[in-house]
Amino acid sequence: MVGYAGTGCFALSGPADRVLPLIYPALYNGPINYYARLVKQKELVLEQFESYSKQTFRNRCMIMGPNGVIALSIPVSRKHGVKTLLRDIRIDYDSNWNKIHWRSLVASYASSPFFEYLADEISPFYHRNFEFLIDLNQQLIEHTLGFLGLDIRVSLSNAFTPISPEEDPRQFIHPKKDQAVADPGFLPGEYHQVFSDRLGFHPNLSILDLIFNEGPDALSYLKACLKT
């Protein structure tokens, strides 16, 4: 029998107890608290059988631009009024969103300490047309984990796992929620951001903000963000 364990993992009860990885949402350049929680994981299972919801981090990320925080959203194609699984969500390229996102990243981070070292690795994701959102997100996650030096096996769920009311990242990592309340275990410190001298520091933006500004020190930052 499968039950929920309060440690943030699923546990199989029985004589051969073993810990199963927690199910995570498949996010587009997810926020820093998402990756902070992956530091201690050995395996990452991305939920692909959930019903797609608008205005979540599945198709948007938050970056720091010259005039403040910018929400970059990926347009998707689906039937209105019909529930669609995330695995079936197709990306809509009619608006050339990928070119817009890449130009926004260049305008926002070209002067950051590590952008020029990482641009050639990240730009291919914005010059290739992925048919499905889940494929783009999974490959971005795998690339980010590799840059952070995290050896984590990434796979997709085989069926929908019910959301637990506690410690479930599919529930509390959400752009509409106050993360100080929804995720009290996440305690972000400050790091230098490109425009912080006039715009101040903005916590928990996309992982790209941390990587472009902190480079190889990003992993140490993530480790320091969670209560132990």
81-111 pLDDT, tens digit each:
789 999 999 999 999 999 999 999 999 999 9
Do 175 and 214 touch, CB atoms closer than 8 A? no
How many other CB atoms are found less than 10 A from the CB of residue 1? 6
**31, β-bridge pairs:** 206
CA distance 219 to 48: 27
CB-based contact 175:55 (threshold 8 Å) = yes
Rg (C-alpha) for the chain, rounded Å, is: 18
State residue 150 phi and psi, 5-degree precision.
-100, 120
Question: What rounded mean pLDDT belongs to the chain?
Answer: 89
Mean per-residue pLDDT, 63-90: 94
Residue 209 · residue 199 · CB < 8 Å: no
| d(C-alpha 196, C-alpha 56), whole Å | 26
> pTM higher than 0.85 for the full model?
yes
C-alpha–C-alpha distance, residues 108 and 69, integer Å: 10
3-state secondary structure of 65: strand
Please name the amino acid found at residue 157: S
CA neighbor of 149 nearest in space, from 101, 208, 217: 217
pLDDT band at 22 (very low <50, low <70, confident <90, very high): confident
